[in-house]
Structure 1
Amino acid sequence: MNKAKKIPIQQLRLIVYDFDGVMTDNRVLTMEDGREGVWVSRADGLGIELIKNKGIPQIILSTETNKVVKARAKKVGLPILMGVKDKRATLTQYCQKKRLPLSSILYIGNDVNDLEAMKLVGFPIAPADAHPTICKMANKVLQTRGGEGVIRELADLLN
């Protein structure tokens, strides 16, 4: 049985999710008409709901401007900051506006475009299949791969 280290929720004020590679397996299906689709895990929908029940706000922070990101955010009831070119600057501005200390932020990212934002927060976390640079700097690397229930695993680690 896995004795995963718990993350104390009393220290968290916000959870930030990258989209591709966290909520998805980082692949995209492109149709001939240009529409795109991705695979997500229904387990993450439950994980998001469980975390909402613990009273922790959550947002999606994505460089993408694709309608699929917006549709998933709407489906799971999360605010989204999309089309973000500089995640570090956007996260800093968001936290200043909401008066959230960066040390109280948990950020799950999977690739080098998340690195600078993840360096700012108190709880940088990576999916199992994240880029080696991200895994090396993360406080915790989850057992779950992107798109396979990362958020559901996180929900079980919050106490």
Structure 2
Amino acid sequence: MGNFKEDIALTEAFVFDVDGVMTDGSIMPLPGGDFLRRYNAKDGYALAYAVRQGYRVCVITGGHGATLERRLQMLGVKDFYMDCMDKIAVMRSYFEREGIDPAHVIYMGDDIPDLECMRMVGIPVCPADAASEVIEAARYVSEFKGGRGAVRDIIEQVLRARGDWARSSIGVTPASMDPQR
């Protein structure tokens, strides 16, 4: 573990939690069992941009619902695991399948269930409003809160460190609107 800026330039994959990271943590239960969540458009743009630039993005969450699944599909995220109660097992399987070194993975979480995952990777990060235990475990704490730009913050930093940020905006639209699909 070296300098943070040097380490993020070696990032092989991003792994994100959802509630409290990609959202502010608020959910509104719907009668059919799904939930409404509020997402940040700039976080979504950065996620879609990273995917289009060829970065590996994985989402592992205890959350579930058709609207969440649709959101991830629209952003082009292919590796996502919902209603997950054993994030470590999923991460191990994902890293093995993809040939990813956990030392070069960024994991962004915000609460106690994320601590074990954060300890498994080389670059644990969190939003500004994460639980105090998570902030203590993080190598980097975004100045932004969950659902308010924290995801964009870390993605932009990595892509800037690698010279990939704002390289091209062509094709960065929701996957559902991609004419090549």
TM-score strictly above 0.5:
yes
CA distance in 1, matches of 2:16, 2:106: 9
Q: Is residue 2:122 matched to residue 1:114? A: no
Between the aligned residues of both structures, percent identity stands at 26
Task: Tell me if structure 1 keeps the 8 A contact 2:51–2:77.
Answer: no
The superposition leaves residues 123-146 of structure 1 with CA deviations (integer Å, 9 ceiling, x where unpaired) of: 100000001110000000001101
Provide the residue aligned with 1:14 in structure 2. 13
Residues 28-43 of structure 1: matches in 2 within 5 Å?
A: 28-32=27-31, 34-43=33-42
Task: Tell me if structure 1 keeps the 8 A contact 2:7–2:104.
Answer: no
Provide the residue aligned with 1:98 in structure 2. 98
Provide the residue aligned with 1:63 in structure 2. 62
Residue 37 of structure 1 aligns to a residue whose secondary structure is strand
- What root-mean-square deviation, in Å, do the aligned CA atoms of Structure 1 and Structure 2 show? 1.8
CA distance in 1, matches of 2:28, 2:141: 27
State the 1:54 CA deviation.
4.4
Residues 69-80 of structure 1: matches in 2 within 5 Å?
A: 69-79=68-78, 80=80
Residue 26 of structure 2 aligns to a residue whose secondary structure is coil
Provide the residue aligned with 2:167 in structure 1. none
CA distance in 2, matches of 1:57, 1:143: 24
Residue 19 of structure 1 aligns to a residue whose secondary structure is coil
CA distance in 1, matches of 2:63, 2:119: 21
Residue 28 of structure 1 aligns to a residue whose secondary structure is strand
Residue 130 of structure 1 aligns to a residue whose secondary structure is coil
Provide the residue aligned with 1:25 in structure 2. 24
Task: Tell me if structure 1 keeps the 8 A contact 2:18–2:61.
Answer: yes
Larger radius of gyration: 2
Residue 18 of structure 2 aligns to a residue whose secondary structure is coil
CA distance in 2, matches of 1:117, 1:32: 32
Consecutive unaligned residues in structure 1, runs of 5 or more: none
State the 1:33 CA deviation.
5.0
Number of aligned residue pairs: give it: 155
Consecutive unaligned residues in structure 2, runs of 5 or more: 162-181
CA distance in 2, matches of 1:20, 1:99: 27
